[in-house]
Chains A and B, each alone.
Chain A
Amino acid sequence: MPSHTFMLNGKQVTVEAEDDVRLLWVLRDLLGVTGPKYGCGLNVCKSCTSHINGKAFNPCSVPVSKIKPTDEITTIEGLPATVGKDLHPMQEAWLALDVAQCGYCQPGQIMTAVAKVRQARAAGHEIGDADLDEIRNICRCGTYSRIRAAIKAGAEHM
């Protein structure tokens, strides 16, 4: 069976899997990293959102063979370490505003939020309603207004 090596949450991992197994299942079923959630497997619901080299992506739609040894994969579990703290400012904002209901989508929401703030800044502006309207992550509990408020609050400390 092919072997795949990449950086996961700051550590190098090697895992044996068929080339076409999507990264989501390599993370969840083989490596036991369950922060990224399955909500559709079709790159639609975005609940598996994680980062590759600092950019948001959806591992449900990426075969593990496309991940290079130098690629840095960050899941919600590894997000705090990217700022050297117990919690990332976006997670702190999520707690301050008590965003979560069931919580299933929230790891993906937070990973999206961080990338979205960075994307807006790279484009030369702070995150605003037009950017927030672009977020596709489903929250079936409908916590959208608290998510919007938390992203704006979290951005202030990023």
Chain B
Amino acid sequence: MAEHRRSPNGPDAEPGGLGRRRFLGYLLAAPTLAVAVQWGAESLDPPTAEAAIPSLPQPEDLFDLGDLQNLAALPTSGLVSVQVNADGTASFAVPRAEVGQGMTTAVAMMIAEELDLPLDKVIVTLADARPELLMNQLTGGSNSMRSMYVPVRTAAAIARQQLVAAAARQWNLPVAELGTRDGVVTHPSGRSATYGSLAAAAAATRTTAVSAPLKSPEQFRILGTPQNRVDARDIVTGRKTFGMDLRVPNAKPTMVRRPPTINGTVGSVRNADAVRAMPGVTDIAVVSHGVAVRGETFGQCIDALRALEVTWGPGTVDTESDDTVLRKVRAAELPLAVPPLLSQHVDAEFTFAFASNSPLEPDNAIADVRQDSAEIWSSLKVPIVAQQEIAAMLGLPPDAVTVHVVQGGGSFGRHLFHDVAAEAAEISKAMGKPVKLMWSRTDDFRHGRTHPMCTSRIRATYLLGAVLSFEQRHTSVRTDFSHGLGEMITSTAAQLPVAGNLGFAETIFELTQSSPYDFGVTTQLLNEVPLGFNTGSMRNIYSPNVVCAQELVVDQLAARMGKDPVAFRREFLKDDRLRAVLDKAADAGEWGRSLPPGVAQGIGLHAEYRAAVASLVEIDCRPETVQRKVPDGVTGPRVTRALIVVDPGFAINPRGLEAQLIGAMNDAIALGLTSSLHIDNGIPLEGSWDNYFYTRQWNTPLDLKVIVLPPTTGKPGGAGELGVAPSLAAVACAYARATGTMPTSFPINHDTLAFTPYPLEPSTPQSPVDGLDFAY
């Protein structure tokens, strides 16, 4: 939790951020101007004393996951560069994944700002796996902006400085008399030269250390202003090329017939030859978790995989269902320490069902595995680990495996893992041919990574107007962090049986969780149950569940103590930034306004990623709303009005930040009300979007506003995951107030199976043929 005890204008805040300090970078020897991005530049500035994790206050207050990632990134530098090209453009291959979060747009803005170049002249592409970057190539923890803000700007500022110096040399004029504007170096005499014409002259012939000042915020013309996505036009014209749209020669469509339970294995295939003779089918191969088919079209792959007659070996969770998993999670709950003696107390326990991080673009990868090399294309957030593990699997040295990071149609945590890329490589090797592997939608839900079931138990004691203690025991089926922090050192550590995944998970939990309230003795602990599910981080990891439980109990405490939820929070908050967003939300959201019975407001607060957020929603739980009918869809209560107020420290792109918060609200509505996976004898029952009820138009708020507060710290906080936790909490608190009953199981409709599951065999349903009947 960010800076609980700091005020926005405290001594550390330094409004305007970085002033005119100079930042170090390196000119690289290159045909045209190239400046290395010096990772960790910001962390090299004092104070650096935050590296030790203190015991009090709670760790996340002083040192969070992003700090750990930044610290881990320190050893690498000079390996990625901003280049100025002869055509006047600047280019940068960013070692991150773009999955819709707007990272490429924000990075382009940083470069355009410091270079004084129009935004549309900055070309940001996605870098291949670069093992030498170590931790610097992980997209996660909403850390990209925090880690790149200073380094990328520094490289661009140095580039601008070199262009000016080159012009000064050519014109034999003092540097101080020259200026830059829109990609042109100018002199008051009227002389001017485009960056393109100077790009070669400004290039270095050997690596040279140089420094340059960064712009102060008052000088910003692009950063901090709302900008549209750099790929918006490609998107609306259908030209944006996702992994699914890539064409690699002879990489034909490939799919897998999968077992009826998670991680099941192939016993035997009875009719391989007959299926290989089906129209369009080229190859069939048995792989670790299914039977792969390759063909001319994906449609023919579906036909073929459905025709296969396969016997299956057991999976890893065949005997597990929702109820067995919940029993095991409850049995692992750590005890509460404070006895509820001599004080009044609130005890509550909440259950959160399995959820899917599946994006709309299904998992897919192209693999071309040859005798002594391999080439992979996939949307990967940790491509270095993918490269090293795939190389090990194929028996190749890592540098024989080229991993290209491609544009992803969403991720929500799914692309932290490279399951589909590894499977594509396995299939390509088995078939001896390039393959374009796609998981079917049903595969994605049933066999893909999940956010695991968890419980959160809370006991809060209070007496005479004070909260004496707040204990939270979060217990979860193990979340897989084996992708580590970007490379094999930490990735391997997460797999060690001794330090083990729990140690790493506890670290992640400690670095992301803390209570923002002055509630006396506060402890928040995690325990995990190792079961054989395929799990992984989903957007905001533990926070949505932890904060939802916490805020519901805060509302209970307020009610017990006879206080309004907003007034109670304001009284007990220890974070000025949270208090500011709370006040703004209560004011702009008309907290306490008159609403009909069955309709109520709820508020949720959260600080993480060095930012602070308040969500205020109104939910309609009246019978006429709850019971409205949508064919093959779930309705239930509707969030009709939603407001999110954010203090991001500094919003690089307020329009992009707003987009992330809009999405987070819709995620939160889904997690609170409608979307979950039902585990039944070793596999989720959900097989399509009409089973897994992610928010649809009929459940989205008719009125959704985001307020981005002016800069406070001057430093950008994380954006991608920021809004999920407080919004889920707000939805849950509103529901409790509208119905008069605190919900304890999420999503609230989980106990009702509102669909007929697709058969488990064959693993992918056949596509309908009656589509024309529904044309409108």
Contact = CB atoms under 8 A, between A and B. Distances in A.
Contact of A134 (B241, B303, B697): B697
Interface string A127-158: 00100111111111111111110000000000
Main secondary structure of the interface of B (DSSP, over half): loop
A20 B770 CA distance: 12
A38 B297 contact: no
B100 A102 contact: yes
A37 B441 contact: no
Contacts, number: 234
A151 B697 CA distance: 13
A24 B299 contact: yes
B58 to A, nearest CB: 30
B99 A57 contact: no
User: On chain B, which size bracket covers the interface?
Assistant: 35 or more
Given A22-B767, A58-B774, A140-B410, A100 B297 contact: no
Contacts of A98: 228-229, 232, 655, 659
Interface stretch (B356-364, B393-401, B734-742): B356-364
A17 interface: yes
Nearest to A116: B776
Interface string B655-672: 100011011111100000
B562 to A, nearest CB: 36
B697 A102 contact: no
A43 interface: yes
A150 to B, nearest CB: 10
A38 B686 CA distance: 18
B771 interface: yes
Contacts of B412: 140
A8 interface: no
B696 interface: yes
Contacts of A63: 769
Q: Top 4 nearest A-B pairs by Cβ distance? A: A102-B100, A35-B238, A142-B666, A104-B409
A7 interface: no
A101 B100 contact: yes
B247 interface: yes
B102 interface: yes
B220 interface: no
B199 to A, nearest CB: 31
Interface residues of A, number: 77
Interface of A: 1, 17-18, 20-22, 24-26, 28-30, 32, 34-45, 47, 52, 55-63, 66, 75-77, 80, 87, 91, 94-95, 98-107, 110, 115-116, 119, 129, 132-148
Residue with the greatest number of chain A CB neighbours at <10 A, chosen from B234, B244, B297, B688: B297
A61 B662 contact: no
Contact of B441 (A41, A116, A141): A41
B765 A144 contact: no
B359 A140 contact: yes
Contacts of B297: 17, 21, 25-26, 29-30
Contacts of B100: 100-104, 141
Nearest to A35: B238
B771 A37 contact: no
B232 A95 contact: yes
B489 interface: no
A88 to B, nearest CB: 9
B688 A91 contact: no
Interface stretch (B3-11, B133-141, B501-509, B699-707): B699-707
